[in-house]
Amino acid sequence: MIPTILSIAGTDPSGGAGIQADLKAFSALGGYGTTVITALVAQTTTGVSEVHDVPPEFVRSQLDTLLTDVRVDAVKIGMLSSTEIIEVVAAAIDTYRLPNVVVDPVMVAKSGDRLLAADAVEALRTVLLPRADLITPNLPEAADLLGEEEATDLDRMRDQAERLLALGPRRVLLKGGHLSGPTSTDLLLSADGDVETLTADRVNTTNTHGTGCTLSSAIATLRPQRPTWSQAVRDAKDYLTEALRHADKLDIGKGKGPVHHFHAWWGN
Ligand SMILES: Nc1ncnc2c1ncn2[C@@H]1O[C@H](COP(=O)(O)OP(=O)(O)OP(=O)(O)O)[C@@H](O)[C@H]1O
Ligand SMILES: Cc1ncc(COP(=O)(O)O)c(N)n1
Protein backbone atom coordinates (compact mmCIF):
# COMPACT_ATOMS: atom_id res chain seq x y z
CA MET A 1 0.00 0.00 0.00
CA ILE A 2 1.31 3.46 -0.88
CA PRO A 3 1.84 5.47 2.34
CA THR A 4 -0.07 8.72 2.80
CA ILE A 5 2.10 11.51 4.20
CA LEU A 6 0.85 14.81 5.64
CA SER A 7 2.88 18.02 5.46
CA ILE A 8 1.91 20.76 7.92
CA ALA A 9 3.98 23.74 6.79
CA GLY A 10 4.25 27.11 5.05
CA THR A 11 4.51 27.84 1.33
CA ASP A 12 7.31 28.79 -1.06
CA PRO A 13 6.19 30.17 -4.45
CA SER A 14 9.65 29.42 -5.89
CA GLY A 15 9.04 25.73 -5.15
CA GLY A 16 12.28 25.05 -3.27
CA ALA A 17 11.19 24.84 0.36
CA GLY A 18 8.06 24.41 2.48
CA ILE A 19 4.94 22.58 1.28
CA GLN A 20 6.09 22.65 -2.34
CA ALA A 21 9.41 20.88 -1.60
CA ASP A 22 7.64 18.45 0.73
CA LEU A 23 5.20 17.30 -1.97
CA LYS A 24 8.07 16.74 -4.43
CA ALA A 25 9.93 14.55 -1.92
CA PHE A 26 6.76 12.59 -1.02
CA SER A 27 6.09 11.78 -4.68
CA ALA A 28 9.69 11.00 -5.59
CA LEU A 29 9.94 8.49 -2.74
CA GLY A 30 6.73 6.62 -3.37
CA GLY A 31 4.33 8.42 -1.03
CA TYR A 32 0.97 10.10 -1.54
CA GLY A 33 1.09 13.71 -0.31
CA THR A 34 -1.52 15.68 1.63
CA THR A 35 -1.09 19.19 3.08
CA VAL A 36 -2.27 21.58 5.77
CA ILE A 37 -0.97 25.12 5.20
CA THR A 38 0.06 27.23 8.20
CA ALA A 39 1.38 30.37 6.50
CA LEU A 40 1.50 31.91 3.04
CA VAL A 41 5.04 33.12 2.48
CA ALA A 42 6.06 35.54 -0.27
CA GLN A 43 9.60 34.23 -0.79
CA THR A 44 12.00 33.14 -3.47
CA THR A 45 15.67 32.15 -3.80
CA THR A 46 16.80 35.57 -2.53
CA GLY A 47 14.68 35.76 0.60
CA VAL A 48 11.32 36.39 2.21
CA SER A 49 9.38 39.58 1.48
CA GLU A 50 6.19 38.91 3.47
CA VAL A 51 4.51 36.30 5.68
CA HIS A 52 0.74 35.98 5.97
CA ASP A 53 -0.22 33.62 8.80
CA VAL A 54 -3.26 31.43 8.28
CA PRO A 55 -5.67 32.08 11.20
CA PRO A 56 -5.20 29.28 13.80
CA GLU A 57 -8.91 28.40 13.63
CA PHE A 58 -8.51 27.78 9.92
CA VAL A 59 -5.44 25.60 10.47
CA ARG A 60 -7.66 23.59 12.86
CA SER A 61 -10.42 23.46 10.23
CA GLN A 62 -8.02 22.09 7.58
CA LEU A 63 -6.75 19.45 10.03
CA ASP A 64 -10.22 18.36 11.15
CA THR A 65 -11.60 18.27 7.62
CA LEU A 66 -8.69 16.19 6.34
CA LEU A 67 -8.20 13.85 9.28
CA THR A 68 -11.85 12.88 9.76
CA ASP A 69 -11.67 11.43 6.26
CA VAL A 70 -8.08 10.53 5.37
CA ARG A 71 -5.78 8.11 7.27
CA VAL A 72 -2.19 9.31 7.33
CA ASP A 73 0.84 7.05 7.83
CA ALA A 74 3.38 9.75 8.72
CA VAL A 75 3.50 13.49 9.31
CA LYS A 76 6.14 16.10 8.50
CA ILE A 77 5.76 19.36 10.44
CA GLY A 78 7.68 22.43 9.23
CA MET A 79 7.01 26.17 9.57
CA LEU A 80 4.40 26.90 12.27
CA SER A 81 4.84 30.68 12.62
CA SER A 82 3.07 31.32 15.97
CA THR A 83 2.31 29.88 19.41
CA GLU A 84 -1.40 29.56 18.55
CA ILE A 85 -0.68 27.46 15.44
CA ILE A 86 1.71 25.24 17.44
CA GLU A 87 -1.06 24.60 19.98
CA VAL A 88 -3.59 23.69 17.28
CA VAL A 89 -1.15 21.25 15.64
CA ALA A 90 -0.21 19.66 19.00
CA ALA A 91 -3.90 19.11 19.80
CA ALA A 92 -4.42 17.41 16.42
CA ILE A 93 -1.49 15.03 17.07
CA ASP A 94 -3.28 13.92 20.27
CA THR A 95 -6.85 13.89 18.95
CA TYR A 96 -6.04 11.89 15.81
CA ARG A 97 -3.16 9.88 17.39
CA LEU A 98 -0.98 10.83 14.44
CA PRO A 99 1.82 8.28 13.79
CA ASN A 100 5.46 8.83 12.78
CA VAL A 101 5.58 12.55 13.57
CA VAL A 102 8.71 14.24 12.19
CA VAL A 103 9.18 17.83 13.39
CA ASP A 104 11.59 20.11 11.50
CA PRO A 105 11.75 23.00 14.00
CA VAL A 106 11.89 25.71 11.32
CA MET A 107 12.76 29.11 12.82
CA VAL A 108 14.79 31.17 10.39
CA ALA A 109 15.13 30.77 6.58
CA LYS A 110 18.59 30.42 4.99
CA SER A 111 18.14 34.06 3.92
CA GLY A 112 18.02 35.10 7.61
CA ASP A 113 14.28 35.89 7.71
CA ARG A 114 12.28 34.68 10.73
CA LEU A 115 9.66 31.99 10.04
CA LEU A 116 8.69 31.46 13.71
CA ALA A 117 7.86 34.33 16.07
CA ALA A 118 10.57 34.72 18.73
CA ASP A 119 7.96 34.31 21.48
CA ALA A 120 6.83 30.97 20.00
CA VAL A 121 10.12 29.14 20.63
CA GLU A 122 8.97 28.27 24.16
CA ALA A 123 5.77 26.62 22.83
CA LEU A 124 7.77 24.71 20.23
CA ARG A 125 10.07 23.44 23.00
CA THR A 126 7.44 22.53 25.59
CA VAL A 127 4.29 21.74 23.60
CA LEU A 128 5.45 20.23 20.30
CA LEU A 129 8.84 18.58 20.86
CA PRO A 130 7.55 16.07 23.46
CA ARG A 131 4.99 14.88 20.88
CA ALA A 132 7.56 14.20 18.15
CA ASP A 133 8.91 10.79 17.12
CA LEU A 134 11.85 12.61 15.54
CA ILE A 135 13.06 16.23 15.49
CA THR A 136 15.51 17.47 12.85
CA PRO A 137 17.07 20.77 14.04
CA ASN A 138 19.99 22.43 12.27
CA LEU A 139 22.74 23.94 14.43
CA PRO A 140 21.19 27.44 14.88
CA GLU A 141 17.80 25.87 15.73
CA ALA A 142 19.40 23.54 18.29
CA ALA A 143 21.17 26.48 19.92
CA ASP A 144 17.95 28.51 20.01
CA LEU A 145 15.94 25.65 21.52
CA LEU A 146 18.55 25.13 24.23
CA GLY A 147 19.39 28.80 24.82
CA GLU A 148 23.06 28.04 24.13
CA GLU A 149 25.83 28.98 21.69
CA GLU A 150 25.88 27.13 18.36
CA ALA A 151 27.93 23.90 18.33
CA THR A 152 31.17 24.22 16.38
CA ASP A 153 32.31 20.57 16.31
CA LEU A 154 30.98 17.01 16.58
CA ASP A 155 31.63 16.69 20.33
CA ARG A 156 29.55 19.77 21.08
CA MET A 157 26.89 18.53 18.65
CA ARG A 158 26.71 15.26 20.62
CA ASP A 159 26.26 17.16 23.93
CA GLN A 160 23.51 19.34 22.47
CA ALA A 161 21.74 16.37 20.89
CA GLU A 162 21.61 14.73 24.37
CA ARG A 163 20.09 17.88 25.86
CA LEU A 164 17.54 18.11 23.02
CA LEU A 165 16.54 14.51 23.68
CA ALA A 166 15.91 15.48 27.31
CA LEU A 167 13.22 17.90 26.06
CA GLY A 168 11.05 14.88 25.23
CA PRO A 169 11.17 13.83 21.56
CA ARG A 170 11.76 10.10 20.94
CA ARG A 171 14.68 10.80 18.59
CA VAL A 172 16.90 13.72 17.55
CA LEU A 173 18.63 14.13 14.19
CA LEU A 174 21.02 17.04 14.73
CA LYS A 175 22.09 18.26 11.28
CA GLY A 176 25.61 19.48 10.75
CA GLY A 177 25.15 21.07 7.32
CA HIS A 178 26.15 24.48 8.71
CA LEU A 179 29.67 23.29 9.66
CA SER A 180 32.35 23.36 6.97
CA GLY A 181 34.73 20.62 5.78
CA PRO A 182 34.80 17.90 3.13
CA THR A 183 31.87 16.01 4.68
CA SER A 184 28.48 16.96 6.08
CA THR A 185 27.76 14.99 9.24
CA ASP A 186 24.52 14.55 11.19
CA LEU A 187 23.96 12.76 14.53
CA LEU A 188 20.97 10.51 15.25
CA LEU A 189 20.22 9.86 18.94
CA SER A 190 17.27 7.90 20.28
CA ALA A 191 15.67 7.79 23.71
CA ASP A 192 16.70 4.09 23.81
CA GLY A 193 20.34 5.20 23.96
CA ASP A 194 21.31 4.50 20.34
CA VAL A 195 23.76 6.95 18.77
CA GLU A 196 24.58 6.98 15.05
CA THR A 197 26.78 9.23 12.92
CA LEU A 198 25.63 9.87 9.36
CA THR A 199 28.23 11.28 7.02
CA ALA A 200 27.93 12.34 3.38
CA ASP A 201 30.48 13.94 1.06
CA ARG A 202 29.81 17.68 1.00
CA VAL A 203 28.39 18.67 -2.41
CA ASN A 204 29.96 21.82 -3.80
CA THR A 205 26.86 23.84 -4.70
CA THR A 206 25.16 27.05 -3.60
CA ASN A 207 21.77 25.50 -4.42
CA THR A 208 20.89 24.48 -0.87
CA HIS A 209 17.48 26.13 -0.46
CA GLY A 210 15.11 23.62 1.14
CA THR A 211 17.60 20.93 2.19
CA GLY A 212 16.03 20.70 5.66
CA CYS A 213 12.46 20.52 4.27
CA THR A 214 13.51 17.84 1.79
CA LEU A 215 15.31 15.72 4.38
CA SER A 216 12.48 15.74 6.94
CA SER A 217 9.90 14.98 4.22
CA ALA A 218 12.02 12.15 2.85
CA ILE A 219 12.31 10.63 6.35
CA ALA A 220 8.53 10.84 6.90
CA THR A 221 7.87 9.21 3.51
CA LEU A 222 10.38 6.41 4.01
CA ARG A 223 9.55 5.58 7.64
CA PRO A 224 6.39 3.57 6.77
CA GLN A 225 8.41 1.83 4.03
CA ARG A 226 11.46 0.87 6.12
CA PRO A 227 11.82 -1.46 9.14
CA THR A 228 13.50 1.10 11.42
CA TRP A 229 13.90 4.85 11.92
CA SER A 230 17.63 4.43 11.42
CA GLN A 231 17.15 2.92 7.93
CA ALA A 232 14.59 5.58 6.98
CA VAL A 233 16.94 8.39 8.07
CA ARG A 234 19.95 6.89 6.25
CA ASP A 235 18.04 6.38 3.00
CA ALA A 236 16.53 9.89 3.28
CA LYS A 237 19.99 11.42 3.67
CA ASP A 238 21.18 9.50 0.58
CA TYR A 239 18.19 10.87 -1.32
CA LEU A 240 18.98 14.44 -0.21
CA THR A 241 22.66 14.10 -1.15
CA GLU A 242 21.57 12.94 -4.62
CA ALA A 243 19.14 15.90 -4.85
CA LEU A 244 22.05 18.24 -3.98
CA ARG A 245 24.25 16.55 -6.62
CA HIS A 246 21.61 17.28 -9.27
CA ALA A 247 20.83 20.80 -8.01
CA ASP A 248 23.08 22.57 -10.53
CA LYS A 249 20.86 21.27 -13.37
CA LEU A 250 18.37 23.89 -12.19
CA ASP A 251 18.76 27.57 -12.95
CA ILE A 252 16.11 29.07 -10.70
CA GLY A 253 16.39 32.66 -9.52
CA LYS A 254 19.32 34.86 -8.56
CA GLY A 255 19.93 33.62 -5.01
CA LYS A 256 20.37 30.22 -3.32
CA GLY A 257 18.60 27.85 -5.70
CA PRO A 258 16.67 24.72 -4.68
CA VAL A 259 17.82 21.11 -4.70
CA HIS A 260 16.54 18.96 -7.56
CA HIS A 261 14.25 16.01 -6.80
CA PHE A 262 15.96 13.85 -9.41
CA HIS A 263 13.59 11.25 -10.79
CA ALA A 264 15.41 7.99 -11.46
CA TRP A 265 12.62 6.56 -13.63
CA TRP A 266 12.36 9.60 -15.89
CA GLY A 267 16.12 9.95 -15.97
CA ASN A 268 16.44 13.71 -15.42
N1 LIG B 1 26.65 20.97 0.71
C2 LIG B 1 26.12 19.87 1.27
N3 LIG B 1 26.49 18.66 0.82
C4 LIG B 1 25.98 17.53 1.35
N5 LIG B 1 25.06 17.52 2.34
C6 LIG B 1 24.65 18.72 2.84
C7 LIG B 1 25.15 19.96 2.33
N8 LIG B 1 24.55 20.98 3.01
C9 LIG B 1 23.71 20.40 3.87
N10 LIG B 1 23.77 19.04 3.79
C11 LIG B 1 22.96 18.08 4.52
O12 LIG B 1 21.62 18.51 4.32
C13 LIG B 1 20.84 18.26 5.47
C14 LIG B 1 20.26 19.60 5.95
O15 LIG B 1 21.32 20.28 6.53
P16 LIG B 1 21.34 21.73 7.16
O17 LIG B 1 22.11 21.61 8.42
O18 LIG B 1 21.84 22.64 6.10
O19 LIG B 1 19.80 21.95 7.46
P20 LIG B 1 18.88 23.21 7.36
O21 LIG B 1 19.69 24.41 7.65
O22 LIG B 1 17.71 22.91 8.20
O23 LIG B 1 18.37 23.25 5.91
P24 LIG B 1 17.39 24.40 5.35
O25 LIG B 1 17.15 25.38 6.44
O26 LIG B 1 18.16 24.92 4.20
O27 LIG B 1 16.15 23.77 4.87
C28 LIG B 1 21.77 17.58 6.46
O29 LIG B 1 21.65 16.18 6.31
C30 LIG B 1 23.14 18.06 6.03
O31 LIG B 1 24.16 17.18 6.45
C1 LIG C 1 7.80 27.79 4.15
C2 LIG C 1 9.23 27.54 4.45
N3 LIG C 1 9.58 26.53 5.28
C4 LIG C 1 10.88 26.31 5.57
C5 LIG C 1 11.88 27.08 5.01
C6 LIG C 1 13.33 26.82 5.36
O7 LIG C 1 14.12 26.52 4.28
P8 LIG C 1 15.49 27.30 3.99
O9 LIG C 1 16.23 27.42 5.28
O10 LIG C 1 16.22 26.43 3.00
O11 LIG C 1 15.12 28.64 3.43
C12 LIG C 1 11.48 28.12 4.14
N13 LIG C 1 12.37 28.94 3.55
N14 LIG C 1 10.15 28.33 3.88
pLDDT, tens digit, 9 for 90 and up, residues 31-46: 999 999 999 999 999 9
DSSP H or E stretch at residue 74: strand 74-77
Q: State which residues form the domain around 141.
A: 4-266
208 is catalytic: yes
Probe ligand 1: pick from 141, 204, 211, max atoms within 8 Å of CB? 211
pLDDT at 5 exceeding the cut of 70: yes
The residue among 103, 140, 117, 110 whose CA lies nearest residue 51 is 117
Look at residue 265 in the predicted model and tell me its pLDDT. Answer: 64
* From 24, 210, 221, 256, the catalytic residue: 210
* From 34, 211, 214, 221, the catalytic residue: 211
221 is catalytic: no
Look at residue 267 in the predicted model and tell me its pLDDT. Answer: 67
pLDDT at 194 exceeding the cut of 80: yes
Number of domains in the chain: 1
C-beta 116 within 6 A of ligand 2: no
Would you list the DSSP string of 31-56?
-EEEEEEEEEEEEETTEEEEEEEPPH
Q: Return the number of other C-beta atoms located less than 10 Å from residue 114's C-beta.
A: 13
Q: What is the CATH number of the domain that holds 102?
A: 3.40.1190.20
The pLDDT tens digits for 44-87 are 999 999 999 999 999 999 999 999 999 999 999 999 999 999 99
pTM assigned to the model: 0.97
* Residues 142-164, mean pLDDT to the nearest whole number: 97
Look at residue 268 in the predicted model and tell me its pLDDT. Answer: 65
* From 35, 212, 214, 257, the catalytic residue: 212
175 is catalytic: yes
Q: What is the mean pLDDT of the chain?
A: 95
Probe ligand 2: pick from 115, 124, 206, max atoms within 8 Å of CB? 115
pLDDT at 266 exceeding the cut of 80: no
Look at residue 103 in the predicted model and tell me its pLDDT. Answer: 98
Strand pairing of 101-103 and 47-53? unpaired
pLDDT at 25 exceeding the cut of 90: yes
* Residues 92-113, mean pLDDT to the nearest whole number: 94
Structure ipTM: 0.95
254 is catalytic: no
* Residues 122-134, mean pLDDT to the nearest whole number: 98
Probe ligand 1: pick from 184, 186, 237, 240, max atoms within 8 Å of CB? 184
Look at residue 262 in the predicted model and tell me its pLDDT. Answer: 76
* Residues 165-185, mean pLDDT to the nearest whole number: 95
211 is catalytic: yes
108-117, 206-215, 220-229, 230-239 — which is least confidently predicted? Answer: 108-117
The residue among 21, 5, 20, 9 whose CA lies nearest residue 211 is 21
Counting atoms of ligand 2 from 1, which one is nearest the CA of 39? 1
Look at residue 109 in the predicted model and tell me its pLDDT. Answer: 87
Task: Give the sign of the dihedral formed by CA 109, CA 103, CA 232, CA 262.
Answer: negative
In 54-180, alpha helices (H): 56-67, 83-95, 121-123, 139-146, 154-165
Q: Identity (one letter) of the amino acid at 219?
A: I
